[in-house]
Amino acid sequence: MSTFSDLMNLLLCFFVLLFSMSSVDVDKFQQMIASLQNTISIFPQGDMSIGDGQMVGAGVRQLEFLDSYYNEMANSKSEDDGESEGGGNTVYEQYKEEALQESERMEEDIQEQLANSGIQNMVEVEFNAEYVELNLNGAILFDSGSADIITEAYPMVDKIGTILEGYKENIIEVEGHTDNVPISSQRYESNDVLSMYRALSVANYIRSITDIDPSHIKSSGRGDYVPIADNSTPEGRARNRRVVIKIYNSYNSDID
């Protein structure tokens, strides 16, 4: 009798435990759903479940429509991302347009100053959204195979220096370019070296005749890698031997 009584008690406890695990407090569950709805609004207004379903033991069969909910959320996020990218592109295009307009104004001002100085026929001027470019023929500045500015070129470079002083808050870059005819001398071992020294010679002279912060002026040698004319003709090679002065607009002058 004692053993049987203990067994019945154990069985009773076991089934009570199973029953407690398999039942759901509907009132508490609905309160939880309402709380979620009001807090993070993941359910439709006024609904107490994600979709039509039935309560079952140990859980809810209401989640069968959860994948649809997440798909809708994913599609919505993709649309938002697309709008953000579109907005970013719009801002970028506006930025480029404003930079281009500033370069255009700079170009007009420089053209006017070149004309007033009487050297408009010695300098080609172009511009883009980053900078205004002054193109100087190398034959006007240097003797063949040399990086020393010839005496006759100093007055022209002086006038260009005066123009550059109007843009002392901008970055100014001097580039040296050559044709593709190989050079090898005791002083300049290649076109790369010659173009580098020519750019440096012009940059240093501009530093010496202006009050522009020397750190705002930089130089580089481009060799024969960026031709603007056909190197197979004497005329084309003459155009490719040049010094380019780039005056960056305020949108592209990264000055610390």
Q: Which domains does the chain have, with CATH numbers?
A: 2-60 (no CATH), 102-248 (3.30.1330.60)
- Count CB atoms within 10 A of the CB of residue 184: 10
Could you tell me the two tokens for 199?
């750019």
pTM > 0.75 = no
Higher pLDDT, residue 111 or 55: 111
pLDDT at 210 over 70: yes
pLDDT at 207 over 70: yes
Percent of the chain with pLDDT over 70: 71
pLDDT digits (tens, 9 = 90+) for 39-69: 555 444 444 444 444 444 444 445 555 556 5
pLDDT digits (tens, 9 = 90+) for 129-140: 999 999 999 999
Helix (H, G, I), strand (E, B) or coil at 244: strand
Calculate mean pLDDT across residues 174-178.
97
Q: Strand 172-177 vs strand 217-221: parallel, antiparallel, or unpaired?
A: parallel
Give the separation between CA 33 and CA 26, rounded to whole angstroms.
11
Give the separation between CA 109 and CA 103, rounded to whole angstroms.
10
Give the separation between CA 115 and CA 130, rounded to whole angstroms.
23
Radius of gyration of the chain measured on its C-alpha atoms: 39
Of the pLDDT bands very low, low, confident and very high (cuts 50, 70, 90), residue 14 is confident
pLDDT at 245: 98
Helix (H, G, I), strand (E, B) or coil at 100: helix
pLDDT at 97: 94
Element holding 84 (H helix, E strand): helix 66-117
Percent of the chain with pLDDT over 90: 59
